[in-house]
Amino acid sequence: MTNKRLYHIGFGKDDLGASPPTIALLSGDLDRAYLIAQNYLQDVRLLSQNRGLNSYLGYLPNNRPILSATSGMGAPSLSIVVNELVQVGIRQIIRIGTCGSIQPHIPVGSIVISSAALCRQGAANEIAPVEYPASADPFLTVALVKSAQELEFEHYLGITASVDTFYEGQERTDSANPYLMRSLRGITEEYRRLNILNYEMECGTLFKMAGVYKFAAAAVCGVVAHRTVDEGIVLEQKEIAVEHAIATAVHAALLI
């Protein structure tokens, strides 16, 4: 049943051609997936535009086939996309995202490469127990670090806090709900003292899925907020941070 098209991603194995890709670059933002496909890949073909989960098939400069796919925002959406990508033969996934730094020495505009995640996500708990490690693949992670070094991008390697909500879960009070539960008050400082580098919303579940499903996963995020200074996104630095995260991931895909 290789011609089966998966319900959410909108394509199946037969749509990937005679030499199907085994690696995917996964972005939460559909515009970022398009940007990667158009600016970094060759001979790009649109695979699907389904439910906002756009996917593109292209080739790296070494002629290796690769997907640029959209996961949507948050772990529940990502868990669906990743499950279906694995069904069509993907065995390596690099998440390219954005994040907020919670350490004073990590500036907006830099990138964070996640070695592992403190996973506070409901979707992950339905895939593996809370105690199950959320660890990035060491070989993909080393490739990302080597890539950032070769491209001379400011980068940091460490543990990420992966949470389910952008506002409450990341201790933001400048929102429709300024009243945080007691369990979340002071959580950022607690994480800072645990040497956690950043907040984001997907890689903990991705890493747990990788362990359970037996594929390799890694993550690189552009820093777009500095939570030791302000809760907001620094739009002036977002473009460069995202550009560096993308370039790092694409170059890493050439190294593995």
Query: Could you list the active site residues?
Result: 8, 84, 172, 227
Phi, psi of 160 (to 5 degrees): -110, 140
**DSSP string over 133-164:** --B--HHHHHHHHHHHHHHT--EEEEEEEEES
Residue with tokens 């473009």: 239
89: left (phi over 0), alpha (psi -120 to 50) or beta: left
* Pair 59, 21: CB distance under 8 Å: no
CA 77/CA 71 separation, integer angstroms: 6
* Pair 173, 180: CB distance under 8 Å: yes
CA 82/CA 216 separation, integer angstroms: 12
Token reading at 157: 């390697």
